[in-house]
Amino acid sequence: MISIELLLKHMAWANQEIYKEVRKLDPKVLDYYVIDPEWTVKTILVHIAGASHLYAQRLDGASFSPFKLKNTEGSEMIDELLVELERIDQGLLKHVRREDEEITFMTSKGEASGKVSTILSQLLFHAGEHRAQIVAALDKHNERSINLDKYSVWGFSLSTGE
C-alpha cells in the first residue's frame, strides 16, 4: 500500500521540479492566470509554499508566523521558494509515523482542530491542485512545455527509484 511518506516525498519532488521548469521560462509567465487575474502563476507559486509553511506550523504546534520572502520577483524569488519548500518538506517527514491525533491550532478565523492525517492529506491535495492551476495558466497562453504526467507518482517512482 502506498504510504503518506511516499506521497509527501512525491509532492516535494513534483513541487521542486515544476518550480524549476517555471524558472526556465520567460519571466512574463509569472503574470499568467487562468480566469482570475489575482491568481497569477507567481501568486500560486508563493501560495503553495506559504500554505505548506502554515500546515507545517500547525503540525509542529508552533505559533503563527507569516511566510515572508526576501525576493519577490523573477528567478531569484523562485530560487528562494525552492529553498523554503525544501526546508518545509524535510520538516514534514517527521510527521509520517506520528499518532493520528486531533490537534488544535489557530487560523485566520480563530481556533480550529483536525487530525494529523487530515492536515497532511489537505497539504498534499492542495499542492497538487495548485500545480495543475499553474500548468493551466501556462497552457492558456500557449506555453505547453510542462506536462503534468511527467510529475505523477509514477514519474516520481521512475525518476527516484522510490
Q: Which domains does the chain have, with CATH numbers?
A: 4-157 (1.20.120.450)
What pLDDT does 117 receive? 96
Mean pLDDT of 74-95: 97
Nearest CA to 59 out of 93, 12, 21 is that of 93
Is the pLDDT at 2 greater than 90? The verdict is no
Q: Could you tell me if 110 and 64 are in contact, meaning their C-beta atoms sit under 8 angstroms apart?
A: no
pLDDT in tens, 31-47: 999 999 999 999 999 99
Nearest CA to 54 out of 2, 112, 96 is that of 112
Q: Produce one character per residue of 43-56: b if its CB has 16 or more CB atoms within 10 Å, e if not.
A: bbbbbbbbbbbbbb
Question: Cα–Cα distance between 118 and 101 in angstroms, integer?
Answer: 10
What's the angle, vertex CA 58, arms to CA 135 and CA 72, rounded to 5?
45
C-alpha cell at 143: 506555453
- The residues, any chain, with a CB within 8 Å of residue 18's CB and separated by 6 or more, are 131, 134, 135, 146, 151
Q: Could you tell me if 74 and 27 are in contact, meaning their C-beta atoms sit under 8 angstroms apart?
A: yes
What pTM did the predictor assign? Answer: 0.95
pLDDT in tens, 88-147: 999 999 999 999 999 999 888 889 999 999 999 999 999 999 999 999 999 999 999 999
What pLDDT does 108 receive? 82
